[in-house]
Chain A
Amino acid sequence: MSALFTLETAAGTLNAAAPLILAALAGVVCERSGVVNIALEGIMLCAAFTGVAVTHALSPAGAAHASAWAPWAGVAAAAAAAVAVALLHGVVSIHVRANQIISGVAINILAVGLTQFLCYLVFKSSSNSAVVASLPRWGAGAFRYSPLVWFAFAAIPLVHLLLYRTVFGLRLRAVGEHPTAADTLGIRPVRVRYAAVALSGALAGLGGAALASDVSQFVQNMTAGRGYIALAAMIFGKWTPCGAAAACFLFAFADNAQIALQEKIPPQFAQSIPYLLTILVLAGFVGKARAPEALGKPYAKTD
């Protein structure tokens, strides 16, 4: 068992946790306002591709000669693309008041095909992009990470403060629980939800950028279900930033551990550990998870 707790596995766990955390926080922000966000997966994927493509376009002399700011511009573009996709989900769920699950699933399916198609157009291969210039690595020893990873950790208390200490957070939670009550007090539930969806998009977008920046390229369907795992983490964490983040660390650890364990026990069994863990956590620790009362219900004045 000692191999499970080396510095390297700890470092790997933190690295793997970062995109999950950003996506789970995105889920928390969005769902606490009352909008279901199954679209996290697709949003991350679009962001990952956009970031890579923009970095590539800004380094015409090749990755090795790229200017230092090209990958940063990629991050900004990733976030912007994610906000745009999230707002698409927002328009469908908030304005058109369509089914939010269907909208999210549609975006996820669309994202897979669209990124593959664009990847082919830009890089002449639909399976992966060229390697692009990467963000610097900050930190020391085994813990040298892209700035996005550090940002993910910083985002946990930030989102916590936002939700529980700011006026905006108070209003956001009120709108997610009882939009009519908020409306009767002069708060516009629709505006608050758009703001929450946009912020959620930005966070998920940075999560997608973190994924791409880890390997400095785009790989077809590189999110590989992380958007959904983040949703599970959000539920395990009872829709709180700290709880969701803790669940992300747990998932990331289990995922790392199973790779280390594959040498000792049959890999088929090792690979199932994260999922077993998921079920155990669900059954044992979650208890009564209460979703925001107005979650998934589009708000409309009753006239």
Chain B
Amino acid sequence: MPSAVEMIGIEKRFPRVVANHDVNFSVEEGEIHALVGENGAGKSTLMKVLYGLYAPDGGTVRVFGKEMREFSPAAAIAAGIGMVHQHFMLVPTLTVAENVMLGMEPRRGPFFARGRAETEVGALSEKYGLRVDPGARIEELSVGLEQRVEILKVLARGARILILDEPTAVLTPQEVEDLYATLRSLKAQGKTVIFITHKLKEVRAITDRLTVLRRGATVGTVASAETSQEQIAEMMVGRPVSLRVEKTAAMPTAPVLEVRHLCAEKLNDVTLEVRAGEILGIAGVEGNGQSELLECLSGLREAESGEVVLGGEDLSAAGPPAWFRAGLAVIPEDRLKRGLVGDYSVADNLVLGRHRLPRYTSTGFVRAGARDADAEELIRRFDVRPPEKSVEARSLSGGNQQKVIIARELSRVPRFLLAAHPTRGVDIGAIEFIHKAIVAERDRGVGVLLVSAELSEVMALSDRIAVMYGGRIVGVVSAASADEKSLGLLMAGGKAAS
């Protein structure tokens, strides 16, 4: 029996980058196969070649033994391939049924047979246990439901091979469980699943085999169950990686940030303190006021009452410029919305916010020399890949966008660092790097406030942990004495056992 997918010697070049070089990748029918690798390793690119979105510059693709001659989504769909993209491909103003049937609409003459489309989609969602209302508009759905629609879209086209690009990055833990159940039932019905992810735990939990890519080339394919997380991480990065945060005990001094009785939208009498030289982690289920707190602590939202003091200066009514002057650095929640200008080059992004310094401007003109020299230095130090200062920030992979932000913010030499989900969508190697950088800032005497949706990250990185629930700080514990269970209880609104 031929393999479901065989990709041999795949080559794909972009203007400045070789994304895939001599990649070999094969998947057997009926298996769940993971594709792992660092940010920018070329995983998405390889899958886009398989799905016909990019034509390879070299190499052969065979699907169920038949060589692909034409590279287009239409040809891939015809060959039985479906793809759920990293960034969803749904039209928000259309309904579920319209999105699923787009391109293969049931017709009555020239008309779209809406009733028939909704019945078909309903039947399909029944068959695979992917419950969603066919008449609902996409913009009304949660991310988890949107993903179901994406999977339905693929199944409706009779796909026998499903590609999922980082399907769990945006899901809540419950939604992740549901997705796994779906993937298992798809496998039971004989479908083949290819699954890109950065989370090594889930790789081992749900996949049969995995293939590792590094810098555009295949490192190898192994059986998931027989390979440890450490081994996978080492294959990905090319050196042993510590999956734990190495840090010494904190030596905190005076408070840098003091928040007293802060009230604002969704925030209810928040009082907390971050001292120089410590990392205060905020644990909590998303949506309990963390985003609003972050906005209050960077000048994006005005306090209704209460005090916010940074380095002795009351900033409760100040805007971002005053905050930055007082020594703030921010790793924002949403990289492309608040962290980067996607259309600007990496070099321009690296000077954003400091572009008025005499070093970067003279009589109203940008000093390109200084900007580029500093950009090159930062790109080297923070290992941004590809090491190109003039590419658009948008074209970087997620992890490398994050590195650009961190490079810029840390080069401000802050006294207070606000880090929101610093490793979201970031690979193992970069996580280690970012964690080290944050700890190094702490050891330099910076006060760090960390917000993360991953409890394990909060626990590993913080010196003290504050739990947020319903817009309040419901408890502060030292990280050394914290355990997952009691934190979980607090996060769910239970009282601290004191």
Chain A residues engaging chain B, CB cutoff 8 angstroms: 165-171, 173-174, 177-178, 180-187, 293, 301, 303
Contact = CB atoms under 8 A, between A and B. Distances in A.
Interface of B: 14, 51, 53-55, 72-74, 77, 83, 85, 89-94, 98-99, 102-105, 107, 110-112, 153
Given A165-B112, A171-B102, A186-B103, A181 B90 contact: yes
Contacts of A165: 111-112
A178 to B, nearest CB: 5
A181 B91 contact: yes
Nearest to A182: B102
A184 B53 contact: yes
Given A173-B94, A177-B94, A186 B72 contact: yes
A180 B89 contact: yes
Given A166-B110, A170-B94, A170-B112, A182 B54 contact: no
25 contacts: A165-B111, A165-B112, A167-B107, A168-B110, A169-B112, A170-B94, A170-B98, A170-B102, A171-B102, A173-B91, A177-B94, A178-B89, A178-B90, A178-B91, A178-B92, A181-B99, A184-B73, A185-B73, A185-B102, A185-B104, A185-B153, A186-B74, A186-B77, A303-B53, A303-B55
Nearest to A183: B73
Given A166-B111, A167-B110, A174 B91 contact: yes
A180 B88 CA distance: 10
Contacts of B112: 165-167, 169-170
Contacts of B94: 170, 173-174, 177
Contacts of B153: 185
Of all A-B residue pairs in the complex, the 7 with the closest CB atoms, nearest first, are A185-B103, A186-B74, A181-B89, A178-B91, A167-B105, A177-B91, A186-B103
Contacts of A166: 110-112
B79 to A, nearest CB: 12
A186 to B, nearest CB: 4
B12 to A, nearest CB: 9
B118 to A, nearest CB: 13
B395 to A, nearest CB: 8
A184 B83 contact: yes
A169 B103 CA distance: 12
Contacts of B14: 303
B91 A186 contact: no
Q: Determine which residue in A166, A181, A182, A303 has the highest number of CB atoms from chain B within 10 A of its CB, and name it.
A: A181
Contacts of B54: 303
Contacts of A183: 73
A184 B111 contact: no
A177 B90 CA distance: 9
A238 to B, nearest CB: 12
B90 A184 contact: no
Given A167-B112, A168-B110, A186-B72, 12 more contacts: A165-B111, A166-B112, A170-B98, A170-B112, A173-B93, A181-B99, A182-B102, A186-B103, A187-B103, A293-B93, A303-B53, A303-B55
Nearest to B394: A302
B89 A184 contact: yes
Given A167-B112, A182-B102, A187-B102, A177 B92 contact: yes
A297 B92 CA distance: 17
Contacts of A182: 91, 102-103
Nearest to B45: A303
A303 B57 CA distance: 12
Contacts of A167: 105, 107, 110-112
A171 B153 CA distance: 15
A181 B73 CA distance: 11
A7 to B, nearest CB: 38
B367 to A, nearest CB: 30
B71 to A, nearest CB: 10
Contact of B93 (A171, A177, A186, A301): A177
A106 to B, nearest CB: 25
A181 B103 CA distance: 10
B198 to A, nearest CB: 22
Contacts of B107: 167
Contacts of A187: 102-103
A183 B74 CA distance: 9
Nearest to B113: A167
A270 B54 CA distance: 60
B92 A174 contact: no
Contacts of B104: 185
Q: Determine which residue in A167, A173, A301 has the highest number of CB atoms from chain B within 10 A of its CB, and name it.
A: A167
Contacts of A168: 110
Nearest to A294: B91
Contacts of B53: 184, 301, 303
Contacts of B98: 170, 174
B110 A184 contact: no
A166 B85 CA distance: 27
Q: Determine which residue in B91, B92, B107 has the highest number of CB atoms from chain A within 10 A of its CB, and name it.
A: B91
Contacts of A180: 89
A151 to B, nearest CB: 20
Nearest to B83: A184
Contacts of A173: 91, 93-94
A174 B138 CA distance: 12
A293 B94 CA distance: 12
B105 A170 contact: yes
A168 B103 CA distance: 10
A168 B110 CA distance: 8
A171 B94 CA distance: 10
Contacts of A181: 89-91, 99, 102
